[in-house]
Structure 1
Amino acid sequence: MSAMLGSHSTIDCWLARWPTRDGWDWVRATLGSALAVDAAALSIVRDEQGKPHFTGALREWHFSLSHSGGRALLALAQDQPVGVDLESPRPRRRLLDLAQRFFTAAETSALRGLPEEERLHAFYALWTAKEAVLKAAGVGIGYGLAKAGMAWRGPDWVVDQFADALAPAAAWQLQRLDLPAALLGHLAWRGPQRLVQLIDTTC
Structure 2
Amino acid sequence: MSRLNDRARTPATVWLRLPDMEPAEGLVREWLSDQLGIAKNDIRFERDAQGRPRLQAPLAHMDCNWSHSGGFLLASVVTHARVGVDIELIQPRRRIDDIAERYFTPAEQAWLGRLNGRNKVRAFHRLWCCKEAILKAHGRGLSFGLDRLELLPDTKRRMQLQAMDAELGSPYAWQLEEWIPAAGYVAALAVKRA
TM superposition score normalised by structure 1:
0.88
CA contact (8 A) 1:122 1:156 kept: no
**Displacement over 6 Å in runs of 4+:** none
Q: What does 1:10-49 correspond to in 2, within 5 Å?
A: 10-23=10-23, 24-49=25-50
The Cα shift of 1:180 comes to 1.4
Structure 1 residue matching 2:73: 3-state secondary structure: strand
Q: Deviations over 1:10-34 (max 9, x none)?
A: 2100000012223222111111111
Match of 1:199 in 2: none
Q: Deviations over 1:14-58 (max 9, x none)?
A: 000012223222111111111111112211110001110111111
- Partners of 1:148 and 1:41 in 2: CA distance: 36
Match of 2:168 in 1: 166
Structure 1 residue matching 2:54: 3-state secondary structure: strand
- Partners of 2:2 and 2:83 in 1: CA distance: 19
The alignment yields a C-alpha RMSD, in angstroms, of 1.8
- Partners of 1:54 and 1:45 in 2: CA distance: 7
TM superposition score normalised by structure 2:
0.92
- Listed as ranges, the gaps of 5+ residues in structure 2 are none
The Cα shift of 1:115 comes to 2.5
Number of residue pairs aligned between Structure 1 and Structure 2: 191
Match of 2:119 in 1: 118
Q: Percent identity?
A: 31
Match of 1:197 in 2: none
Counterpart amino acid of residue 189 in structure 1: V
The Cα shift of 1:183 comes to 1.1
Where relative contact order (Cα < 8 A, 6+ residues apart) is larger, the structure is 1
- Partners of 1:44 and 1:181 in 2: CA distance: 32
- Listed as ranges, the gaps of 5+ residues in structure 1 are 193-203
Q: Deviations over 1:80-117 (max 9, x none)?
A: 11000000101111210100011001101110111223
Q: What does 1:136-151 correspond to in 2, within 5 Å?
A: 136-151=137-152
